[in-house]
A and B are shown apart, each in its own frame.
Chain A
Amino acid sequence: GAGVSQSPSNKVTEKGKDVELRCDPISGHTALYWYRQSLGQGLEFLIYFQGNSAPDKSGLPSDRFSAERTGGSVSTLTIQRTQQEDSAVYLCASSLRASGNRNNEQFFGPGTRLTVL
């Protein structure tokens, strides 16, 4: 595809509901990253995928957050029992590889704005 796409672009939900956020990386990119952008916290890393496996989940804020990636492509970030503090913009990025190659740029999607009422 032309770039990283994310859906939905906006999501409003009630506290306690579950939400699923989707990321379609650039075709052929093997590495995929999720970040969260919230007021006062800036941009925070959540989880990283290499292929379908997630070697680094260190940024997930709680066990209510999970993510999966299937077929080495689409990824879904799930937040269970949403809380108001989960309100943020969730950004996805992909890169060709996850190697230490210095030229491995991460390309970002437009984000999903999540509002928990």
Chain B
Amino acid sequence: GDSVTQMEGPVTLSEEAFLTINCTYTATGYPSLFWYVQYPGEGLQLLLKATKADDKGSNKGFEATYRKETTSFHLEKGSVQVSDSAVYFCALRSNQAGTALIFGKGTTLSVSS
């Protein structure tokens, strides 16, 4: 079945460091890919998404490119801030009607000043 694998955390960085969180997937067909973020004490929020190969999703300085050839959707940010400290989830969804999101296990990011 479909699955998502993302790098295990925690990831600890200093402010203004470069961030990469790796995500790879296994799926039939052409799923949509997502990054969700969960800030402390808050619910899951969609950070960015890409719906077809070579699409780049971006939001709040974060970017991820849908790479079909490597089945990857790595999350990157050039300069992290303390406020980026959160848990990040990579997810996919088949484009069949009503299908649920399939999530990776999450990566905890901690940014210190």
Residues B100 and A33 in contact, CB atoms below 8 Å apart: yes
Interface size on A, residues (CB 8 A): 28
B residues near A41, Cβ cutoff 8 Å: 105
Q: What string of 1s and 0s marks CB contacts (under 8 Å) between A77-117 and chain B? A: 00000000000000101000011101101111111000000
Interface size class of B (residues with CB under 8 A): 20 to 34
Residues A48 and B43 in contact, CB atoms below 8 Å apart: no
B residues near A110, Cβ cutoff 8 Å: 42-43
Q: What string of 1s and 0s marks CB contacts (under 8 Å) between A27-57 and chain B? A: 0000101010000011111001010000110
Residues B97 and A98 in contact, CB atoms below 8 Å apart: yes
Q: Which of B12-32 contact A (CB under 8 A)?
A: 32
Q: Is A59 an interface residue (CB 8 A)?
A: yes
A10 to chain B, nearest CB (A): 12
Q: Which of B69-113 contact A (CB under 8 A)?
A: 89, 91, 95-106
B36 to chain A, nearest CB (A): 8
A residues near B42, Cβ cutoff 8 Å: 110
B93 to A, closest residue via Cβ? A106
B109 to chain A, nearest CB (A): 16
B43 to A, closest residue via Cβ? A110
A residues near B97, Cβ cutoff 8 Å: 98-100
Residues A50 and B101 in contact, CB atoms below 8 Å apart: no
B10 to chain A, nearest CB (A): 14
Assembly CA distance A116 to B22 (angstroms): 34
Residues B43 and A50 in contact, CB atoms below 8 Å apart: no
Assembly CA distance A7 to B69 (angstroms): 43
List 17 contacting pairs A-B, 8 Å CB cutoff, sorted by A. A33-B101, A41-B105, A42-B103, A42-B105, A43-B89, A43-B103, A45-B101, A45-B102, A56-B99, A91-B43, A98-B97, A100-B96, A102-B32, A102-B52, A108-B43, A108-B45, A110-B43
The 3 closest A-B pairs by CB, nearest first: A42-B105, A43-B103, A45-B100
Q: Which residues does A use to contact B, with CB under 8 Å?
A: 4, 31, 33, 35, 41-45, 48, 50, 55-56, 59, 91, 93, 98-100, 102-103, 105-111
